[in-house]
Every structure is written in C-alpha cells, then in structure tokens.
C-alpha cells in the first residue's frame, strides 16, 4: 500500500465575507445575488436553495456540505458543479465557504481551483479585509487567508492497534486539528480522519499547504510502517479478517450502515495487502458514504420504507458493487 491509497479526499475551503454586511445575515436574496454573480462567470456551476434540496441530508453524509450550513437551510444557497468537486456554501457561518474537493491527494491543484473562484469574487464584490488581520471571518481561527486545507485519510493499523493516540499527542503543538469524518466532536468512523490546519492568521496560504503536506506524509508513513508490522506478525489473521469481511458484504441479506463501515475497513486493508483487487479501488471509498441512511433513502427512493427494507437495499447495493468491480 502506498500513501495515495490512504488518502480519500483533498479539500480546500476558503472563507470570505462581503464588506459592510453582518456575518449573521439572514437575507436569502443577498446570497442569491452572490450566487448569480458566480454563475455568470462560471456557467458550469448551478445554484440551489438549500431548503428546496431533498438530498441535503445526503450531501451532508457524503461530506459535501457542513452541519452549520444544514442548520441555515432556510437562507442557504448552494452553488456546485455536476460532480460536486466544487461546492460553495452561501449563508453558512461566513457569507461564503468556497470548497474545492478532489478524490486523490493534490493539495496545490485543489487550492488553485478554489482560489480562482475567490479571486474572481473579489473583482465583483468588496470583500471584508483588513491590512493587519487579512480576510475578516466570523470565527477568529479563520482570520488571515481564510484557508482550511483538509485531507481525509484512512488509518486502520494505527486505529486497530490504538497507537493513533500517540500520533495525535506528538502533533499537539503543530497548529493542526485531527477530527472524525464529520468534523468537530464526530468519531473516526471507518478509521477515517480529517487532518486540517487550526488557523491561518500568521501563515501564508503556501505555508499552510506545505505544513499539511508534511504532516500528512509523516502520518501516512507511520501508518504504512504499522501495516507492514501487522502483516509480518500475523498475515494469516489479516487474510482471515479480510475474507470474512468479503463474505459478509457479498452474502448478507441485511446490512446496517454501521456494519458496512466495520467490514469495509478490512476490505480496504485487503486492497493494500493485495489480498483483493478491484478495477477501480475508488468504489470501496464511495461505499463508506453512499450507504449512509439518508443517502440510501434518497438514491433508492425509500422515503416510505422501513428499516428492514432499507437494510436489504443497502446489502444489495454493496454486494452488487463489490462483485461487479472485483478483479478475479
């Protein structure tokens, strides 16, 4: 397994606010006007009123919008492209949260995508900015560049051996935050963690990205070393765990979302050890998110289904995708 296989997504988020407008603005027309301006320059993007989107809970489960944005659904406007690699939240904690997302490890290119949108916005609107404090944001930790560079990383060996706490402890004073998949106070479901900068006030955007890159590389190297150590100690036990997970996911008639995540951890580990191979390994990463409750309901039109029906549909989807994409 290499470092690339551990990275699930790279995300750059830039926070911006319009000058002379309160942070807690509740005027949807204001946000719609900003959305129209963005789309005028980027016709590949579309705008959606958040409370009109029946899939908004699914978007949150897939890590495409935030919990704060969901809470502001009555005024929020989402601007995104067809594959959700750009998601701009208007009416979140700040007026704008410009997000660029890639399904591989590429901090710099992802940053450039978000920065291009932010730069265009600055030609169309007066952005709240101070010569000493940089971009003004509601939360002081976003002052400066307004940049949050985030990498979603899969750390099974460190989690299983409980050595993840030691890794976190070493990073206490390095201006970074490590959280679960859904941000602050969330658990590391599926051994997946978010690594991001704590603040950016005293650092340039380039310095933030370099710092995150160094830390992610260090953590990923530690994870890979731990995986090799586990394999050397007990390869048969790992193979058994992987194949048991395969058996459950490709034969179960009912599966809860928690069961899927628990077993996918071993499937993904099996890919790294070349016990299993798929035509597109991304399918396993996708299954972590598309089997979540709201996403299953949305994608399969199960709004009136009971729990058993949803678990049956989830099991069917997991089984079909794994069997279809597995290489013999």
- Kindly give the residue spans of alpha helices, DSSP state H, lying in the chain: 3-6, 28-41, 56-61, 67-71, 107-124, 156-160, 164-170, 205-233, 235-251, 257-272, 282-290, 293-299, 307-325
Band (pLDDT 50/70/90 cuts) for residue 187 is low
The total of other beta-carbon atoms located within 10 Å of residue 37's CB is 15
Confidence of residue 118 (pLDDT cuts 50, 70, 90): very high
Helix (H, G, I), strand (E, B), or coil: what is residue 12? strand
Edge-to-edge strands, sheet with 7-16: 46-49, 77-80, 86-90, 96-102, 7-16, 147-154, 192-197, 176-179
Long-range contacts, stretch 274-280, CB < 8 angstroms, 24+ apart: 275/238, 275/239, 275/242, 275/243, 276/242, 276/246, 276/326, 277/326, 277/327, 278/322, 278/325, 278/326, 278/327, 279/325, 279/326, 279/327, 280/325
Q: Which CATH number fits domain 3-226: 3.30.420.40, 3.40.350.10, 3.30.590.10, 3.40.1160.10?
A: 3.30.590.10
Query: How big is the CA angle at 109 (ends 68 and 90), to the nearest 5 degrees?
Result: 25
Give the SS3 label for residue 88: strand
Q: How many CB atoms lie within 10 A of CB 2?
A: 9
Segment 82-115, tens digit of pLDDT: 999 999 999 999 999 999 999 889 999 999 999 9
**pLDDT above 90 coverage of the chain, percent:** 77
Across the strands, what pairs with 101? 11
Whole-model pTM?
A: 0.89
Provide DSSP, 29-67.
HHHHHHHHHHHHH-TT-EEEEGGG-TTHHHHHHTTSS-H
pLDDT at 1 over 70: no
What does pLDDT average to over the chain?
92
End-to-end CA distance of the chain: 19
Confidence class for position 188, pLDDT limits 50, 70, 90: low
Measured at the CA of 75, the angle between CA 70 and CA 80, to 5 degrees, comes to 65
What is the average per-residue pLDDT within 162-188?
74
pLDDT (tens digit per residue) in 8-49:
999 999 999 999 999 999 999 999 999 999 999 999 999 999
What mean pLDDT comes out for the span 133-155? 93
Q: How far is CA 269 from the centre of its chain?
A: 20
Where are the chain's structural domains? 3-226, 235-325
Cα separation of 62 and 82, whole Å? 15
Residue 267 burial by Cβ neighbours in a 10 Å radius (0-12, 13-18, 19+)? buried
Return the structure tokens found at 49.
């009123």
């Amino acid at each position: 397994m290499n470092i690339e296989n551990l990275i699930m997504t790279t995300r750059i988020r830039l926070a911006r606010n319009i000058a002379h407008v309160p942070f807690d603005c509740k005027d949807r027309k204001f946000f719609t006007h900003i959305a129209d301006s963005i789309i005028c320059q980027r016709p590949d993007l579309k705008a959606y009123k958040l409370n009109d989107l029946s899939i908004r809970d699914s978007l949150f489960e897939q890590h495409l919008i935030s919990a704060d944005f969901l809470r502001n659904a009555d005024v929020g406007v989402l601007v995104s492209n067809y594959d959700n690699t750009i998601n701009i939240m208007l009416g979140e904690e700040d007026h704008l949260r410009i997000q660029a997302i890639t399904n591989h490890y590429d901090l710099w290119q992802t940053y450039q995508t978000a920065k291009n949108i932010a730069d265009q916005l600055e030609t169309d609107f007066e952005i709240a900015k101070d010569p000493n404090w940089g971009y003004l944001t509601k939360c002081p930790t976003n002052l400066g560049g307004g940049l949050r560079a985030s990498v979603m990383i899969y750390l099974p060996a460190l989690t299983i051996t409980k050595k993840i706490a030691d890794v976190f402890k070493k990073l206490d004073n390095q201006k970074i935050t490590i959280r679960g998949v859904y941000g602050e106070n969330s658990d590391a479901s599926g051994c997946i963690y978010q690594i991001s900068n704590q603040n950016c006030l005293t650092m340039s955007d380039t310095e933030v990205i370099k710092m995150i890159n160094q830390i992610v590389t260090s953590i990923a190297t530690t994870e890979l070393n731990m995986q090799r150590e586990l394999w050397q100690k007990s390869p048969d036990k790992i193979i058994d765990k992987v194949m048991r997970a395969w058996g459950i996911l490709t034969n179960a008639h009912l599966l809860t979302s928690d069961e899927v995540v628990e077993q996918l951890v071993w499937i993904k580990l099996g890919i790294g050890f070349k016990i299993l191979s798929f035509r597109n390994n991304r399918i396993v990463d996708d299954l972590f998110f598309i089997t979540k409750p709201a996403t299953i309901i949305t994608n399969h039109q199960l709004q009136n289904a009971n729990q058993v029906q949803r678990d049956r549909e989830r099991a069917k989807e997991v089984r079909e995708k794994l069997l279809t994409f597995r290489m013999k």
